[in-house]
Amino acid sequence: MNAINHRVGIKASPEKIYQALTTDAGLSTWWTNDITGAGDVGSIIEFRFNGGGPDFLVTELSPNKTVRWQHHGNMPEAWIGTEILFQLQVEDKQTFVRFSHSNWQETSDFMAHCSTKWAVFLLSLKDALETDHGRPFPDDISIDHN
Amino acid sequence: MNAINHRVGIKASPEKIYQALTTDAGLSTWWTNDITGAGDVGSIIEFRFNGGGPDFLVTELSPNKTVRWQHHGNMPEAWIGTEILFQLQVEDKQTFVRFSHSNWQETSDFMAHCSTKWAVFLLSLKDALETDHGRPFPDDISIDHN
């Protein structure tokens, strides 16, 4: 199995970052402006990009420390069976967000695209918390011309 | 073995991108401003960041298509034995750069950091070619506060 891994350090408390990962309002500051359903374990979050987009089932929440989602539904097809994990760790002057999107069946061009795009969105999370100016879709940085 | 994968689409010819991956002048527009040694297969390129940094042996060059480097020397330790591969592919209105940094012994926090940082530098490569304003070190985007 293959995984995408990223790590950013944010000048914000784990409480603030956890909020940005577990509420519709928080998630919409950095990933996409169209998000519904965030809540407790068992919730299904619908992330939409121009109408389409993935759903995730919230499978683990440890306040201010861990957020785990299981991909839910049938699209995008390459994401079926994949899992997303955010782990927060405070170190002296910042909180590190360790991200993984794991259980990919193969290392494809699409996986490579998603890897770059996740970096863009994690930097958007960093900006949302540090400057109040995240870049959620449709204002996200383009990584290609499609 | 674990790998970092990325993919960006650039509005530039494969010839221009290949130049930016195979010459000191080109590499210094997007990764770090202190680069020496780029050349044919067998060259050792020294990438420096405030004095320290990795060396890479050029192991494969296929003009306007493939650039492969083998990590050389003893630092950073986690990079020993790793390989970097750039593959260029033209599609209608852009050239895709498929990047991998492979053969990592383990999926560490440092690997996750490098994954995010490679995305930043590949977007710097894209900007360097499309706008003439790359962000090589020391003007690169910070992903943490270290």
Dist. CA A132–CA B143, nearest whole Å: 16
**What confidence score (pLDDT) does residue B13 get?**
98
**What confidence score (pLDDT) does residue B74 get?**
87
CB atoms within 10 A of CB A114: 21
**Is B18:B88 a contact under the CB 8 Å cutoff?**
yes
**Is B27:B20 a contact under the CB 8 Å cutoff?**
yes
User: Which residues of chain A, if any, have pLDDT below 50?
Assistant: none
pLDDT tens by residue, A72-100: 998 999 999 999 999 999 998 999 999 99
CB contact under 8 A, B6 and A141: no
pLDDT tens by residue, B122-131: 999 999 999 9
User: Which residues of chain B, if any, have pLDDT below 50?
Assistant: none
Closest Cβ–Cβ partner in A112, A119, A141 for B98: A112
Which of chain A's residues have a Cβ under 8 Å away from the Cβ of B101? Answer: none
Whole-number Cα distances in Å, B106 to A7, B41, B67:
15, 28, 24
Q: Which residues of A touch B (CB under 8 A)?
A: 2-11, 93-94, 96, 98-100, 107, 109, 111-113, 115-116, 119-120, 122-123, 126, 141, 143-146
DSSP A92: T
ipTM, two decimals, is 0.97
Dist. CA B101–CA A73, nearest whole Å: 31
Name the nearest CA neighbour of A11 among A135, A140, A125: A125
Residue with token string 């590949």: B122
Mutate: best of A1, A2, A7, A11, partner B, most B CBs <10 A: A7
B124: helix, strand or coil: helix
**What confidence score (pLDDT) does residue B7 get?**
98
Q: Which residues contact A33 (CB under 8 A, 6 or more apart)?
A: A136, A137, A138
Q: Which chain B residue's Cα is nearest to A1? A: B2
CB contact under 8 A, B123 and A122: no
**What confidence score (pLDDT) does residue A92 get?**
83
**Is A4:B100 a contact under the CB 8 Å cutoff?**
no
pLDDT tens by residue, B17-34: 999 999 999 999 999 999
